[in-house]
Amino acid sequence: MSTVQLFVPRDAAALAAGADEVAEALQAACAQRGVTLNLTRNGSRGLLWLEPLVEVVTPHGRIAYGPVQPEDVPALLDDAHLLTGGFMPEGDVSPSPRPSPTRGEGAMHSKPLSPCGRGVGERGQHTSDDMTVVAHPLRHGVTEQMPYLVMQERLTFRRIGVTDPLSLADYEAHDGWAGLRKALTLTSAELLHEVTHSGLRGRGGAAFPAGIKWKTVAHAHAAQKYVVCNADEGDSGTFADRMVMEGDPFMLIEGMAIAALAVGATQGFIYIRSEYPHALAVMNEAIERASAAGFLGENVLGSGRTFHLHTRKAAGAYVCGEETAMLESLEGKRGIVRAKPPLPALSGLFGQPTVINNVLTLAAVPFILARGAQAYRDYGVGRSHGTLPFQLAGNIKHGGLVEKAFGLSLRELIYGFGGGTRSGRPVKAVQVGGPLGAYVPESLWDVPLDYEAYAAHGAVLGHGGIVVHDDTANLAELARYAFEFCAAESCGKCTPCRIGSTRGVEVMQRIERTAPAGAAPNAAQHAQQLTLLRDLCDTMQHGSLCAMGGMTPYPVLSALNHYPQDFGVAAAPSPQPSPTRGEGAQTQRT
Amino acid sequence: MPEAPLLADLIVHHRATPGALLPLLHAVQDAFGHIPSEAVPAIAEALNLSRAEVHGVITYYHHFRQWPAGRHVVQVCQAESCQACGSRALTAAAERIFGCALGQTRADGAVTLEAVYCLGLCAQSPAVQVDERLHARVSEAKLARIAQQLGVQEVAA
Ligand SMILES: Cc1cc2nc3c(=O)[nH]c(=O)nc-3n(C[C@H](O)[C@H](O)[C@H](O)COP(=O)(O)O)c2cc1C
Ligand code: SF4
Ligand code: FES
């Protein structure tokens, strides 16, 4: 048999699901069978409930199998003919498939469709060239035709899971460096115009237009300027930055190099959280390879322009994701928030003009340069242009990465992509935008995902993280957790956040103790504590220096306003919540 | 300090880096498993900082340890996505299985059990990190198997 090309991801999510063990099992089993294996460790396609997702290259495309565990490997090779992608010449179905004891009938033809599984291109069991397809419960057909992927609009993530993350040749073969090469032919003004015209806004939370930020830095006068990439990604429910760094590190390098050209920076830093050792290792290796190949360094692609790039490992402080705290940390200090002004764009790292952008913001730039600003701008709705990599997490059946243009709805994401809860119970609350984001009730699941539309409803898109909770969740407990998190992570610089968060925990404890309301003699106390809670939130929201204290009221108040029964405000929580939860009454209580 | 030459090497290697303190502290912790208090004066002097400043940085960041951890470090994610998938119950199970409370090191030094806030595995919650290894969708049974593989004996509560 000739060489077989397989892909087994090396993304942390795949590793956590056992990808290394699967790769070893495949190698051992192939060696045993005398098959030469060409095994590429790719990034993850983002269908995370199917990790480890093994792919095999066939004349019909790449065929996906997942989730594969090491013990599945012998049966996948012998019965499911994984090495040919399950394609067998018509009439030649030897060796006779042994029914696999663990996987049902496992073998031929008939099988239940896996949820997001069978490729649309594989309607029947016969292909055009007289081949038979050997079905298997773990076989999902042609990867690119899987509905979860077909329904997406992948601009930033178009290479991730497809290529070898650390192969410069692979990157180049998939449009790599086209944006940087284009950028080198443009003036700074032209570059700034492209990025501004694309409509790209910061993907790290605040959604500030990238072009305007870059312009401020470009026009500042200084001997030294910096580009800093915020890869702190501390929000629960987010993993897109990690996937970019682990799955397509050259794209981030390219984006940062373009930013450096646009503003005149010669030094760059990527601040990576310490919880992401795999991302850090991949970025370090990628920087080394890109430098050796002339994409970074003294003379970028022979242009005479200089850009040096370094990584910095964070140290486990959530607030260091806030840009000024991050600068302090990069300077070797405690990561305490700086008052603005001055803006980091004018006085940033070591007091010099600095562009600070999120990983996804910078990663979108190569596409914008390569395909043109208008191509990016054409995606999206209103003032939210382009795509957002949504991250489906929490209690969800098909959790993963969904890159879509702005404007789809939460309902489409939760049910169309996510398949509802993993527990099979009704969805109760969805936190959008990380720990500082609001809990969004069912009445708002049809609002288009767009920065302005969400803001109008007192919610935020943030980083695009979506955490689903089923009906066993207690929103009062989650509100208390929001305060606990703020108390643990507050930088301590301002009183509303430092003291307010601790008082918030106490008020929540009293509310939980005195609920349900109406039960004398607690009712008056309970009502008083609720008033106190709102007052406290008001103080934190309006008196805090940064969004840590300023936005902790979002999860708290949204929980109280939309799920009052959990705070003992509604008469009594019904023991059997309705499965549809269509009744808007509860959501209008306050 | 027995490892003084190693510390000196690390200082020489990092002292010229702009914003050297965090990279140096990481290097020290990677080498020694924690940041020994004896290392603080040398670090302060090399970077032209006060000892209080260095101490302030070490204590500010959750990642840095002032004392050695147990032979195995087990971190259970406590953030929202993992909560939505049962991390509270899993944490209780971890305390039982590993025989120590969250934030503590077991008396025999076998295990340190810690909270962690998001490992970036939120689509496969609940998530746990054991030493350098990540584990997704961790059940109580899976945690017990991990303990067994580590050779961690259950201790009577
Ligand atoms: C407490 C706090 C934590 C933050 N964490 C992050 C983070 O992990 N990643 C990120 O990109 N931005 C984070 N931000 C937002 C940054 O301050 C900043 O807006 C962002 O890095 C700018 O980049 P962008 O314009 O590309 O979004 C955080 C803000 C606050 C207040
Ligand atoms: S709001 Fe909290 S985190 Fe932000 S500056 Fe104030 S104390 Fe620091
Ligand atoms: S919330 Fe636990 S891994 Fe993200």
Which pLDDT belongs to residue A573?
43
The yes-or-no answer to whether A168-378 and A381-470 have a common fold is no
A548 CB near ligand 2 (under 6 Å): yes
Q: Running DSSP on this structure, what letter comes out for residue A186?
A: S
A191 CB near ligand 1 (under 6 Å): no
Sheet holding A465-470, edge to edge: A400-405, A387-394, A465-470, A427-432, A439-440
Query: Which parts of A402-468 fold into alpha helices (H)?
Result: 410-411, 451-456
Q: Running DSSP on this structure, what letter comes out for residue A233?
A: -
Query: Which parts of A45-177 fold into alpha helices (H)?
Result: 73-78, 147-150, 168-173
In order along its 590 residues, chain A shows pLDDT tens digits of: 579 999 999 999 999 999 999 999 999 999 999 999 999 999 999 999 999 999 999 999 999 999 999 999 999 999 999 999 999 987 665 544 444 434 333 333 333 334 444 433 343 455 566 789 999 999 999 999 999 999 999 999 999 999 999 999 999 999 999 999 999 999 999 999 999 999 999 999 999 999 999 999 999 999 999 999 999 999 999 999 999 999 999 999 999 999 999 999 999 999 999 999 999 999 999 999 999 999 999 999 999 999 999 999 999 999 999 999 999 999 999 999 999 999 999 999 999 999 999 999 999 999 999 999 999 999 999 999 999 999 999 999 999 999 999 999 999 999 999 999 999 999 999 999 999 999 999 999 999 999 999 999 999 999 999 999 999 999 999 999 999 999 999 999 999 999 999 999 999 999 998 876 556 668 888 999 999 999 999 999 999 999 999 999 999 999 999 999 999 986 444 444 333 333 333 333 22
In chain B, pLDDT over 70 holds for what percent of residues? 96
Q: Running DSSP on this structure, what letter comes out for residue A263?
A: H
Task: Give the CATH fold of the A381-470 domain.
Answer: Ubiquitin-like (UB roll) (3.10.20)
Q: How many CB atoms lie within 10 A of CB A324?
A: 23
Searching chain B, which residue's CA lies closest to the CA of residue A312? B23
Q: Which ligand places an atom closest to the C-alpha of A338?
A: 2
Give the separation between CA A233 and CA A236, rounded to whole angstroms. 8
Cβ B132–A277 below 8 Å, yes or no? yes
Q: pLDDT for B87-145, tens place per residue?
A: 999 999 999 999 999 999 999 999 999 999 999 999 999 999 999 999 999 999 999 99
Residue pair B106/B60 in contact by the 8 Å Cβ criterion: no
Q: Which ligand places an atom closest to the C-alpha of A314?
A: 1
CATH number of A168-378: 3.40.50.11540
Nearest to A417, CA basis, from A445, A436, A397, A394: A397
Beta strands A384-385 and A380-381: pairing type?
antiparallel
Residue pair A73/A66 in contact by the 8 Å Cβ criterion: no
Identify which of A315, A334, A396 has the shortest CB distance to residue B63.
Answer: A315
- In single-letter form, the type of residue at position A468 comes to V
Which pLDDT belongs to residue B15?
95
Using CA atoms in the order A425, A430, A436, A437, what is the torsion angle rounded to 10 degrees?
180
How many residues are listed for chain B in this entry?
A: 157
Which pLDDT belongs to residue A523?
85
Q: Tell the residue number behind the tokens 């998939």, with chain if given.
A: A174
Give the separation between CA A421 and CA A524, rounded to whole angstroms. 38
Domain A475-567: CATH class, spelled out: mainly alpha
Nearest to A359, CA basis, from A234, A224, A196, A172: A234
Cβ B120–A234 below 8 Å, yes or no? no
Give the separation between CA A164 and CA A160, rounded to whole angstroms. 9
Give the separation between CA B120 and CA B125, rounded to whole angstroms. 9
Domain boundaries, chain A: 3-87+138-151, 168-378, 381-470, 475-567
Q: Is A478 on the interface with B (CB under 8 A)?
A: yes
Which pLDDT belongs to residue A514?
82
| Crossing angle for the helix pair A475-489 and A495-514, to the nearest 10 degrees | 150
Residue pair A516/A568 in contact by the 8 Å Cβ criterion: yes
Beta strands A4-7 and A37-40: pairing type?
parallel
Q: Is A274 on the interface with B (CB under 8 A)?
A: yes
Cα of A237 vs centre of ligand 3, distance in Å, is 6
Task: Give the CATH fold of the A3-87+138-151 domain.
Answer: Glutaredoxin (3.40.30)
Which pLDDT belongs to residue B4?
75
Cα dist from B88 to A87, A91, A281, B16, B125, whole Å: 46, 54, 31, 45, 12
